[in-house]
Amino acid sequence: MNDTGVGGDVFFVLVGAILVFAMHGGFAFLEVGTVRQKNQVNALVKILVDFALSTVTYFFVGYAVAYGTTFLVNAAALSGGGDGFELQGLTLVKFFFLTTFAAAIPAIISGGIAERMKFWPQCLATVALVGIVYPLFEGLIWNGNFGFQSWLETSFGAPFHDFAGSVVVHAVGGWIALAAVLLLGARIGRYDRNGNPVGIPPSSLPWLAMGSWMLCVGWFGFNVMTAGSLEGASGLVAINSLMAMAGGILVALLVGRNDPGFVHNGALAGLVAVCAGSDVMHPVGSLVVGGVAGAVFVIGFGYCQNRLKIDDVLGVWPLHGICGAWGGIAAGFFGLEAFGGLGGVSPMSQLIGTALGILYASAAGVAVYGLLKTTMGLRLTPEEEHLGADLAIHKISANPEHDMGR
């Protein structure tokens, strides 16, 4: 490829990285709008610190675990080629892009464990998850490590297809979050002495909505720029993402009976589900996949909170864990030519790959958060939780002038 072509690819992937980086602001404000006001500062600090920790950890450890490439070489190799680094640093900008994906794992988990998790144990969890846990599965699926994809292709005619991470990113993050939430326990006052749920409404629907909008906009970088080059860019991916988002919104509106929280999360549910097959499905198939995801989130959120008594504050398990798994499986059917797709997928490979992601993430979540619970503890004290994470951890609230009267 000539210098101009490489430069175009560098810019293309860089724009995608910036868009997905902006999504982390969406994660932050979605949490800010959902948690109580006394925990808003903590939500903002957690997401930003998790991103910084993820960047450093993925640079030194995680990227090498997934792709076998280290950045500990001389500067000339980084910028001008050699030692695996292409002209103009294309590998470097791809690292930036993939870092924003890796950092989504702790950002997803953050919403589930909100309002009662200690700060430093979560920082250590981020390092373990982004350094080892996530890259092992990422490399298994996206880099063909350990021969798993080759086995699926030989056995069932196609490897596990997860174009933009319905399972690799979202389901893995969601199922790790479920383990963390179960080990952490419910917030004080979330359920009464008889086990009946006590409603805790969102603190700010405008902030929640802004978070959803930021995520929706950035998602087109998340999906489209996964192609990795201008030549590989696909308008089909963009339209499929759009249709799935619309389906998720409309079905969540109906099933959720006009609830604004469900509507804004319904958009995200549709986008989570379409990631895996956005490059092979027909737009009508994507509309269906996104619509089903919208219903899955609304029903799953209620079942999780009210029947299972799992205090997953933002509903990250139903949103990312279950809808991500649905997207992984759905790609194996709606990607088939019989359903208007482009083909090249295997339903059995999708089922096996998705099941492996769920089992792996669940086990890893129990291991990481179980070890932290045993050694450091996970929860704030009852007094700290009552005061709120903002003042207990950061010594300042979202409205500092109000602190003077305390």
Write out pLDDT tens, residues 214-260.
999 999 999 999 999 999 999 999 999 999 999 999 999 999 999 99
Q: Is this prediction's pTM over 0.75? A: yes
266: CB partners within 8 A, 6+ apart: 248, 249, 250, 251, 252, 253, 256, 293, 294, 297, 298
Query: Which pLDDT score is estimated for 7?
Result: 86
Query: Which pLDDT score is estimated for 401?
Result: 77
Residues of the chain with pLDDT under 70: 1-4, 73-88, 403-406
Write out pLDDT tens, residues 61-105.
999 999 998 888 665 555 555 445 555 578 889 999 999 999 999
Reduced to 3 states (helix: H, G, I; strand: E, B; else coil), residue 185 is coil
Query: Which pLDDT score is estimated for 168?
Result: 98
Task: Kindly give the interhelix angle for 90-102 and 104-112, rounded to the nearest 10 degrees.
Answer: 10
Query: Which pLDDT score is estimated for 79?
Result: 54
Query: Which pLDDT score is estimated for 83?
Result: 47
The number of residues making up the chain comes to 406
Q: Given CA atoms 192, 198, 204, 207 in this order, what sign does their dihedral have?
A: positive
Q: How far apart are CA 188 and CA 392, in angstroms?
A: 15
Query: Which pLDDT score is estimated for 3?
Result: 64
Amino acid at 5: G
